[in-house]
Amino acid sequence: LPYLVSGYGDRVTEARQEEGLTVEEVAEELGVDESDVLAVEEGRATRAGVGGSVIAGLEQLFDIELADE
């Protein structure tokens, strides 16, 4: 997993809410587990072992930056 920017969970939550999507809808769109999306939003992606592909998918879906390149 790449190093994630500070407050990455809030970025995802805000972007998702702006799009009017639920966690379930985002997970379905990305083809990942709802628990992975929740872990990212709650800022525990690393502890939960969320894959880099989930992070990349969220970045692409919402056009936001989460990984600190």
Sign for the CA dihedral angle at 39, 40, 42, 48 comes to positive
Q: What is the pTM of this model?
A: 0.92
Burial class of residue 59, CB neighbours in 10 A (0-12, 13-18, 19+): middle
Residue 60, C-beta contacts closer than 8 angstroms, at least 6 positions apart: none
- List the helix and strand counts (H, then E) for the chain: 5, 0
Whether residue 37 contacts residue 30, with contact meaning beta carbons closer than 8 Å, is answered with yes
Please tell me the predicted confidence (pLDDT) of residue 2. Answer: 63
Give the model confidence (pLDDT) of 8-67 as tens digits. Answer: 999 999 999 999 999 999 999 999 999 999 999 999 999 999 999 999 999 999 999 999
